[in-house]
Amino acid sequence: GENVEQHPSTLSVQEGDSAVIKCTYSDSASNYFPWYKQELGKGPQLIIDIRSNVGEKKDQRIAVTLNKTAKHFSLHITETQPEDSAVYFCAASLPGGGNKLTFGTGTQLKVEL
Amino acid sequence: DVKVTQSSRYLVKRTGEKVFLECVQDMDHENMFWYRQDPGLGLRLIYFSYDVKMKEKGDIPEGYSVSREKKERFSLILESASTNQTSMYLCASRTQGIETQYFGPGTRLLVL
């Protein structure tokens, strides 16, 4: 089955700096890559996703890039703010099979004032 | 707004007890999921359900069972709770064919 590795496990940045979280996946057939944000005491919430036919996607201060050849994808957050502090999970999904998501191990992002 | 609710935020149980975790969604979603979340391990899929009375094993089904008698409700059952089942349990739902999953707030279970 699919395996997703995520780095780093913790990330601390100064407010206004950029943050980058990286994930690699094992199965080249995976075609859907979402990113979820989990705030303290809440369940994860989708913030952005990308499909395998696209190399990059942006939504305001967040962007995701996908390198299918290397089988890795990254989340980029620019101009970080304190409310960006949360745990971020990447995931990958194979086509069919119920589109089950395989999640990475999570990154605790802390944005310091 | 999609709402996924879980019956308890915190639960403390004894080893050997039968434990029921309930999840309810209000968006008529066909698919529902149960995950457990552990530090350093991320979210791991326990069971999922495509529709009423349907269930499929996820990656770590051992020690768990599920029930989906109504479309809006998906129950996770620990037949005989063990200390290694102490964890955060997350329920999610989605519309069939749409990948976005909507998560509940989680139930933190402590088995003593």
Q: Which of A1, A9, A46 sits opposite B100 (nearest CB)?
A: A46
Structure tokens at A109: 């992002």
Q: Is A49 on the interface with B (CB under 8 A)?
A: yes
**Best of B101, B102, B107, B108 to mutate (most A CBs within 10 Å, chain A):** B101
Residue A97: what pLDDT?
Answer: 60
Residue B59: what pLDDT?
Answer: 92
Structure tokens at A34: 């979402």
Using one digit for the tens of pLDDT, what is the confidence trace for B69-97?
A: 999 999 999 999 999 999 999 999 999 88
Using one digit for the tens of pLDDT, what is the confidence trace for B27-82?
A: 999 999 999 999 999 999 999 999 999 999 999 999 999 999 999 999 999 999 99
Beta strands in B3-98 (DSSP E): 4-6, 10-13, 19-25, 31-38, 42-49, 56-57, 64-70, 73-78, 87-94
Contact A44 B43 (CB under 8 A): yes
pLDDT over 80 (residue A39): yes
Beta carbons within 10 angstroms of residue B70's beta carbon: 11
Chain B residue numbers touching A48 (CB-CB < 8 A): none
Question: Out of A7-21, A49-63, A92-106, which region has the weakest mean confidence (pLDDT)?
Answer: A92-106
Using one digit for the tens of pLDDT, what is the confidence trace for A63-112?
A: 999 999 999 999 999 999 999 999 999 999 988 766 789 999 999 999 99
pLDDT over 80 (residue B2): no
Structure confidence at residue A43 as a pLDDT band (50, 70, 90): very high
- Separation in Å, CA of B71 to nearest CA in chain A: 17
Contact B100 A99 (CB under 8 A): no
Average pLDDT of span A11-39: 96
* Cross-strand partners of B47: B34, B57
CA dihedral B38, A1, A28, B35 (to 10 degrees): -30
pLDDT over 90 (residue A10): yes
Residue B98: what pLDDT?
Answer: 85
Phi and psi for B41 in degrees, rounded to 5? -115, -10
Phi and psi for A75 in degrees, rounded to 5? -105, 130
Q: Residue B4: closest CA among chain A residues belongs to which residue?
A: A43
Residue B99: what pLDDT?
Answer: 87
- Separation in Å, CA of A60 to nearest CA in chain B: 20
* Cross-strand partners of B25: B4
Tell me the DSSP string of chain A: ---EEEE-SEEEEETTS-EEEEEEES-TT--EEEEEEE-TTS--EEEEEEETT-SEEEETTEEEEEETTTTEEEEEE-S--GGG-EEEEEEEE-SSGGG-EEE---EEEEEE-
Chain-wide mean pLDDT for chain A? 94
Chain A residue numbers touching B35 (CB-CB < 8 A): 103
